[in-house]
Amino acid sequence: MKQPSYKNLKLDPSTIINLEKGKLPPQAIDLEEVVLGAMMIDKKGVDEVIDILTPESFYKEIHQNIFDAIFKLFQRSEPIDLLTVSNQLKKDGTHNKVGGDFYLISLTQKVSSSAHIEFHARIILQKFIQRSLIKISNEIISDSYDESKDVFDLLDNAESKLYDVTQGNIKKSSETAQSLVIQAKNKIESISNKKGLSGIPSGFNKIDKLTAGWQQSDLVIIAARPGMGKTALALSMASNIAIENKIPLAFFSLEMSSIQLITRMISSETGLDSNKLRTGKLEKHEWEQLNIRVKNLEKAPLYIDDTPSLSIFDLRAKARRLVSQKKVKIIIVDYLQLMTAGGNMKIGNREQEISTISRNLKALAKELSIPVIALSQLSRLVEGRTSKRPLLSDLRESGAIEQDADIVSFIYRPEYYKIDTWDDNDRSSTEGEAEFIVSKHRNGGLENIRIRFIPALGKFEDLDNFESPYEFHSKMNAAANDDTFKENEQGEEDLPF
């Protein structure tokens, strides 16, 4: 059989067109050259784009090397110009790789100033995001064909990767000690210049003094036996954070409906007995009190989700959206044992499932860089002891909770157990008082902090700021009968206290 000859083979014109239309990764090589050139001739250009781009943002590898050299000089606060960049590339061993001084000179000749450099840098970043999306999409497609992978894991991984892109922080494999030290120093400096707490205030003075506020990436466990007031404390903190400090907060309630939660917050805010709110039997002045004092709650950046049997997968998905869309800064989960792992994962027994949930809550706090507060039940071991004060070993169903958490705290109300006096030297009365016990604090000290509990309002307060319900209602009644009980022009109450 005669073999075909390829010597005089001619390509079909349509084939040539198809090759010309072949897909290339999104890129802006000309803008990469202009940006790098501008950074070497004008310090202002460096300041404008250094926090926008990373070496990975550049398409050409040699441009990655050059930007990395500029970034190192910037970190050391050294001058950035043609000579210093050239010397840094020699130190890095990439000078010849990028084309030597000839290529660096050619970059500076392409631009005369750093005008529009930020605009150009953002186009480079857009191309990088497009390439990242293509890479992630290919990984998702490849994983989706793998029958051995759980579909809910695939969804979670896909959403996590896409979330990283939307936040502009494509995950890096590792960071150098030098980079981390600089980040840490910058954080310490920003904290020193910041007035007040470094974290999110709980609204309880002694707790905030101990913790410096709830810190980013921390998992905080607040545990107690039923009836101790876990939800009441969580709602008191939510009120202090979202209403008083206007900090966006998400509250995931697996035990109570959203209407029940908001009713309890209304009671706390207005000073109206929760039983009266449940029955609707309010006096005229109490209706006025309700309508006026509830306005701050209406304006609060508070987001409540009461999905029952919420899985950790659903929580992570919802949390990412809330942080991205609503700028939520802290999450509260009520409570941990009512959650499920979700998906078709074979977790094993309940203890292993709780461990998975706890581990994922910590991962969520770290991923979103916000504090996550999770309420937790305690085992019945407390009831069988002479001393009812909770211990770390009382955490229900899993020791992993203690391991994963940055802070483990307990609520203890002796009055609940008919204990009339505290076990201190003064033997003071326990009536209306509770202890917030910090038993584990990864980055600080331990302490038992006394706080006030107001059962009628379902509310916790600082002891020194406490005002009894009788005093509160007396003032409200006096104000209701006074002509000064009215709204001012801004819609705020004009009360005589």
pLDDT of residue 31: 92
Closest of 243, 249, 210 to residue 436, by C-alpha:
210
Is pTM, for the whole model, over 0.85?
A: no
**Annotated catalytic residue, options 118, 159, 255, 447:** 255
DSSP, res 444: S
Angle formed at CA 195 by CA 192 and CA 198, multiple of 5 degrees: 65
Judged by average pLDDT, the poorest of 182-196, 218-232, 439-453 is 182-196
Evaluate whether 275 touches 457 at the Cβ level (below 8 Å): no
How buried is 340 (Cβ within 10 angstroms: 0-12 exposed, 13-18 middle, 19+ buried)?
A: middle
Alpha carbon 422 to chain centroid distance?
Answer: 37
Q: Quick one: three-class SS letters along 392-410?
A: HHHECCCCHHHHHCCEEEE
Question: Of residues 465 and 124, which shows the higher confidence score?
Answer: 124
pLDDT of residue 480: 44
Between the alpha carbon of residue 373 and those of residues 204, 233, 254, 440, 475, the distances in Å are: 15, 11, 14, 14, 35
Alpha carbon 210 to chain centroid distance?
Answer: 21
pLDDT in tens, 383-438: 778 888 888 887 766 667 878 889 999 998 888 888 888 877 667 888 888 889 99
Residue 372 pLDDT grade (very low, low, confident, very high; cuts 50, 70, 90): very high
Element (H, E) at 452: strand 447-454
Q: How far apart are CA 225 and CA 230, in angstroms?
A: 8
Evaluate whether 371 touches 220 at the Cβ level (below 8 Å): yes
Percentage of the chain surpassing pLDDT 90? Answer: 16
Closest of 172, 78, 170, 96 to residue 133, by C-alpha:
170
Q: How far apart are CA 309 and CA 291, in angstroms?
A: 34
Judged by average pLDDT, the poorest of 355-359, 397-401, 447-451 is 397-401
Q: What are phi and psi of 165, to 5 degrees?
A: -70, -45
How buried is 193 (Cβ within 10 angstroms: 0-12 exposed, 13-18 middle, 19+ buried)?
A: exposed
Q: How far apart are CA 253 and CA 232, in angstroms?
A: 12
Q: How far apart are CA 364 and CA 358, in angstroms?
A: 10
Residue the block writes with tokens 């004008």:
42
pLDDT of residue 458: 82
In this structure, which amino acid lies at residue 89?
A: L
* Topology alike, domains 29-166 and 197-342+350-480: no
Q: Please state the domain extents for the chain.
A: 29-166, 197-342+350-480
pLDDT in tens, 55-91: 889 999 999 999 999 988 887 778 888 999 999 999 9
**Which is the CATH superfamily of the domain at 197-342+350-480?**
P-loop containing nucleotide triphosphate hydrolases (3.40.50.300)
Evaluate whether 449 touches 436 at the Cβ level (below 8 Å): yes
**451 forms bridges with which residues in the sheet?**
434, 462
Furthest-apart CA pair in the chain: how many Å?
113
pLDDT of residue 5: 47
Whole-number average pLDDT of the chain? 79
DSSP, res 75: H
Q: How far apart are CA 331 and CA 238, in angstroms?
A: 9
The CATH T-level fold of domain 29-166 is DNAb Helicase; Chain A (1.10.860)
* Residue 190 predicted with pLDDT over 80: no
DSSP-assigned states of every residue in 164-229 = HHHTT-PPPS---HHHHHHHHHHHHHHHHHSSS-SSB--S-HHHHHHHSSBPTT-EEEEEE-TTS-
Query: Once rounded to an integer, what is the mean pLDDT over residues 190-212?
Result: 80
pLDDT of residue 64: 92
pLDDT in tens, 112-160: 888 888 889 989 998 998 998 888 888 888 888 888 887 877 887 887 7
Catalytic residue check, 431: no
Residue 342 pLDDT grade (very low, low, confident, very high; cuts 50, 70, 90): low
Q: How far apart are CA 245 and CA 214, in angstroms?
A: 14
**262 forms bridges with which residues in the sheet?**
none
3-state secondary structure of 385: coil
What is the chain's Cα-based Rg?
A: 30
